[in-house]
Amino acid sequence: MALDENPWVFRFEGKLWVSETPRERAISELRAQRAWDARNAKLQRWWVAIAIGAVVGIVLTLALGTATGIPPALYLFALPVGFGIGAVLGALVNKRITPASQHESLPERPTVPFLVRVPPRVASKAPADASARDLMEWSRRGYVG
């Protein structure tokens, strides 16, 4: 592909991106931000809240079904619905308990330069020596013109 050698274009997670920041710096900043996001998500313990909510949803569905005497075949539909409702409620309770968007032990979230995704049509038609501004404009329009 012609844009592989362009100093303003880089591939990240299977997509082409263009930035006015040099390629190596943009990639390192984007990787740092994604690593921060992963650490933050892990520290927030979302999976614990969702799992507890899902278990509570299933238990309540079984209790309600047993109390009302519904046929066992209806549990095939009721249990997944109870699981989903419980998981969503667990996530909402977790969000209410810990409203901070970042964990206290982490530094500020790293910033990334302004990035524009390069569509495949633009990547195939753009000249190899195109400037970052031209590539951004063409990517916003969706064609090289």
pLDDT band at 99 (very low <50, low <70, confident <90, very high): low
Among left, alpha and beta (phi > 0; psi -120 to 50; other), residue 142 is: left
pLDDT for the residue 84 = 92
In whole angstroms, what is the distance from residue 34 CA to residue 55 CA? 30
Q: Does residue 98 surpass a pLDDT of 70?
A: no
pTM: 0.62
Mean pLDDT to the nearest integer, 114-125: 88
pLDDT digits (tens, 9 = 90+) for 79-93: 999 999 999 988 888
Q: Does residue 1 surpass a pLDDT of 60?
A: no
Contacts for 70-76: CB closer than 8 Å, 24+ residues apart: none
Structure tokens that stand for 77 in this block:
């539909």
pLDDT digits (tens, 9 = 90+) for 28-75: 999 999 998 888 777 777 788 889 999 999 999 999 999 999 998 998
